[in-house]
């Protein structure tokens, strides 16, 4: 039993309609399905699977290609994830910097208190007199 050569009112065969619908779906940018292809071409899925294995092969090839190539939404999502990762790294670096400066401030504050205590002790032990010039 051979491939049917039915034509619609435009004079196009079912194979031509399938190819045309497949091209339109490829330009659309979405991942095409067999159901959508058949609906756009105006043929049944049974006819696609039975009489048009070449078109089915092209459809599967296009589907594999689309799954490998991320669409605009997936590319945008990946860009946002990359930006988020970069910001996370910056926050981590800022936190480390804040910790470093806080530790330096604590050390300096402690040293200053010790020096003030030493000066206070020196003032108590030395009975210095104010000398006018």
**What are the mean pLDDT values of the chain's consecutive 10-residue runs (133 residues total)?**
51 90 86 90 93 91 79 87 95 96 97 95 80 75
In terms of Cβ atoms closer than 10 Å to its own Cβ (0-12, 13-18, 19+), residue 17 is buried
pLDDT of residue 64: 84
Tell me what pLDDT residue 9 has.
45
Domain ranges of the chain: 14-68, 72-120
Q: Per the confidence metrics, is the pTM higher than 0.85?
A: no
Buried b / exposed e over 79-108, threshold 16 CB at 10 Å, is: eeeeeeeeeeeeeeeeeeeeeeeeeeeeee
pLDDT of res. 133? 77
Q: What share of the chain is helix, strand, coil (3-state, %, to 5)?
A: 75, 0, 25
pLDDT of residue 1: 46
- Residue 84's pLDDT is what? 96
Residue 74 is predicted with a pLDDT of 81
């Amino acid at each position: 039993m051979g491939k049917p050569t039915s034509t619609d009112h435009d004079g196009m065969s079912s194979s031509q309609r399938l190819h045309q619908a497949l091209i339109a779906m490829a330009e659309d940018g979405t991942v095409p399905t067999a159901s959508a292809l058949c609906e756009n071409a105006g043929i049944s899925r049974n006819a696609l699977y039975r009489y048009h294995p070449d078109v089915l092969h092209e459809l599967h090839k296009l589907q594999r290609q689309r799954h490998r190539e991320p669409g605009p939404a997936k590319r945008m999502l990946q860009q946002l994830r990359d930006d988020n990762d970069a910001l996370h790294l910056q926050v981590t670096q800022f936190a480390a910097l804040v910790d470093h400066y806080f530790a330096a401030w604590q050390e300096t504050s402690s040293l200053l208190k010790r020096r003030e205590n030493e000066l206070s002790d020196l003032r108590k032990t030395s009975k210095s007199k104010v000398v006018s010039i």
